[in-house]
Amino acid sequence: MRIGIIAHLKHPIAEPFAGGLEMHTHLLARSLRDRGHAVTLFASSRSQPGINLEAICAETAIQTVGTTEASDVPFFREHHAYLSLMTDLRHRDFDIIHNNSLHYLPVAMADSLPMPMVTTLHTPPFCWLESGIRLCTARSHSFVAVSRSVAALWNHVTHSDAVIWNGIDLQKFAFHPQPAADPYLVWYGRIVPEKGLHLAIEAARRIGLSLKIAGPILDDDYYRTQIAPALSQDVAHVGHLTHEQLAHLVGGARAFLCTPMWDEPYGLVVAEALACGVPVAAFARGAIPEILDSKCGVLAVPDDVTSLANAVLAALALDRSACRTRAEQMCDADRMVDNYEALYLRQIAKAASTVCSEKTASIHLMPSTRLPHSASSPRSASLG
């Protein structure tokens, strides 16, 4: 298949990934290409070129705080980039478009494309994306949710045609049957308030185990005021790591702390920890209860540090091989790509069937052709 994938533009689709969505987009594009499909990735300019990148814009994340007008620049840059892309796609030779962005324009303009589109819902509803989805009238469009939780959150806006859980490369996050000799807990992800790192630090301190932290600092004020003052010999931020470095760090941990302060749409970090054989202690939010079972993780009351600390202590006793088994059952990228391939084929067939039906209907609706009255006269007949 000839597949176009539309990424979001706030961060490059390249290692080290800013977050789970960037990693998911990269993995999907690479996996589809490795299966023989012709994949084009529409993403920001600093994305990895090895996955047939067509850069449509520079990153749109605001790097500095400025005036209102300066803050509006990324918004308009993003808007015009997607508007230009959707206009251009009308004349491109793709079999299907996969919209993996968080922007309103691709889905709002889906009905302008000659090929079908699939949009993956990666987040709970927010006003801009919701407005675009409400405008989507394309009959050859399909919505996919990354979890049952996300599907339920969007149900008042649109029906999800499928739930396809995100997957990870199980080979890159190899099984570690034994933790490191020096005992530690691990937390990793984007360092922003909604990820709740400050609560993980407090829980680790109450237990008396050291905590290693990995991930990009995407909210400088949050890091400066709530995280940096809590760092010590026992609480260390080791930086923003590559896949290989991250797998080594996570695999050596006794347990992984997952502390979202919002409805986590999926939780790729949970999948990665399980793949390494690391038990998970997590707030029971969003899709996390769908991923974990009693053999691989312990759920805590959201935002409750005492409950989280107790969950960590219980998780320390779980079997690491059961964690890996759960990852193989729930979080394998091959399963995810299989499901997307099947969905693409269904949408392409559905679109072709719709075109055929419309052509047939137009033929039947054509007015019947009659000869003019004079043509039925004997004189006209004799001329025939």
Could you report the per-residue pLDDT of 260-310, keeping only the tens digit for each? 999 999 999 999 999 999 999 999 999 999 999 999 999 999 999 999 999
Rounded Cα distance between 320 and 159, Å, is: 37
Mean pLDDT of all residues in the chain? Answer: 91
Residue carrying structure tokens 């997957």? 167
Per-residue pLDDT, 343: 97
Rounded Cα distance between 28 and 40, Å, is: 11
Bridge partners of 287?
none
- Locate 138 and state its tokens: 């394309």
Structural domains of the chain, with CATH: 2-164 (3.40.50.2000), 184-330 (3.40.50.2000)
Per-residue pLDDT, 20: 87
For the segment 65-89, the average pLDDT, to the nearest whole number, is: 79
Strand ranges, E, within the chain: 2-6, 38-44, 53-57, 96-99, 117-121, 141-145, 162-163, 184-188, 210-214, 235-237, 255-258, 280-283, 297-300
Length of the chain (residues): 384
Q: Is 254 helix (H, G, I), strand (E, B) or coil?
A: coil
Strand ranges, E, within 248-320: 255-258, 280-283, 297-300
Task: Check whether 371 has a pLDDT greater than 60.
Answer: no
Bridge partners of 97?
4, 117
Task: Check whether 94 has a pLDDT greater than 80.
Answer: yes
Q: Is 341 helix (H, G, I), strand (E, B) or coil?
A: helix
For the segment 206-233, the average pLDDT, to the nearest whole number, is: 97
Tell which residue, 240, 277, 273, has the closest CA to residue 259. Answer: 273
